[in-house]
């Protein structure tokens, strides 16, 4: 039995769920279209460049969570999963999950995207364990802030170590699949790092380190 870690956005999904959620809110008229779409695109470019300030982004991205009722948010999220996420769940990613599941491995999705958006996505993939950035939730409502350590860049390593607790030995037989250079710190911690449809910087690192480079896309 080993640990099989999977990034979510642009790895198991043929797109970015955080960005897609923002665009969905624009389409629904929940947020000001011009302002939100422009900011969403700016933050996404910063993420791709490895220059994202995760707390600044959270203050922006969590605002709709803070300003709307939990019931309404759940209704929007259910529609979002069916209309925007299921169509971009990559079959080859699902097959790799199934390969590890059949081997008896512990499956974990580990993502910078917040748990409100990603929990039902992990469930749709049949993955029990999710490590994600946690939006702070106090007295039945979101505050608009991050709770604890953001699951981003080096924070992914910290959050995984926290999740493993006394079971750090599982890293001795571990896999991690990711597309992003933001995940290089965690890729360097596992036994079997795998670059999946990698961005240019991760592809360069994978070639230098002789990590496998694969594709989940047709």
* 166 is known as an active-site residue: no
Share of the chain above pLDDT 90, in %: 83
| pLDDT score of 1 more than 80 | no
Q: Please state, in angstroms and rounded to a whole number, the distance separating the CA atoms of residues 45 and 13.
A: 18
All domains of the chain, ordered by start, with CATH? 3-214 (3.40.50.1000)
Q: Can 9 be counted among the known catalytic residues?
A: yes
pLDDT of 72-91, one tens digit each?
Answer: 999 999 999 999 999 999 99
List own/partner pairs for 21-26 with CB under 8 A and 24 or more apart.
21/61, 21/80, 21/84, 21/117, 22/61, 24/76, 24/79, 24/80, 24/83, 24/84, 25/64, 25/76
Q: Which of 9, 105, 179, 183 is catalytic?
A: 9
Q: Average pLDDT for residues 126-150, to the nearest whole number? A: 96
Whether the pLDDT of residue 33 is over 80: the answer is yes
Angle at 174 between CA 97 and CA 116, to 5 degrees: 55
């Amino acid at each position: 039995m080993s640990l099989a870690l999977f990034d979510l956005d642009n790895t198991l999904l043929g797109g970015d769920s955080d960005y897609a959620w923002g665009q969905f809110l624009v389409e629904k008229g929940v947020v000001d279209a011009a302002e939100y779409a422009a900011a969403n695109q700016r933050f996404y470019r910063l993420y791709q460049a490895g220059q994202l300030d995760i707390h600044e982004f959270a203050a922006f991205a969590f605002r709709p969570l803070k300003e709307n009722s939990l019931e309404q948010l759940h209704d929007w999220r259910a529609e979002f999963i069916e209309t925007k996420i299921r169509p971009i769940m990559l079959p080859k990613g699902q097959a790799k999950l199934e390969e590890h599941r059949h081997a008896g491995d512990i499956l974990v999705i580990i993502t910078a995207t917040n748990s409100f958006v990603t929990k039902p996505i992990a469930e749709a993939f049949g993955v029990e364990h999710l490590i994600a950035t946690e939006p702070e939730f106090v007295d039945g409502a979101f505050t608009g802030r991050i709770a604890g350590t953001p699951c981003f860049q080096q924070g992914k390593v910290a959050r995984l170590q926290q999740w493993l607790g006394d079971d750090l030995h599982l890293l001795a037989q571990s896999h991690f699949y990711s597309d992003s250079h933001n995940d290089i710190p965690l890729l360097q911690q596992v036994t079997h790092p795998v670059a999946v449809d990698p961005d240019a910087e991760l592809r360069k690192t994978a070639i230098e380190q002789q990590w496998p480079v694969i594709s989940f896309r047709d």
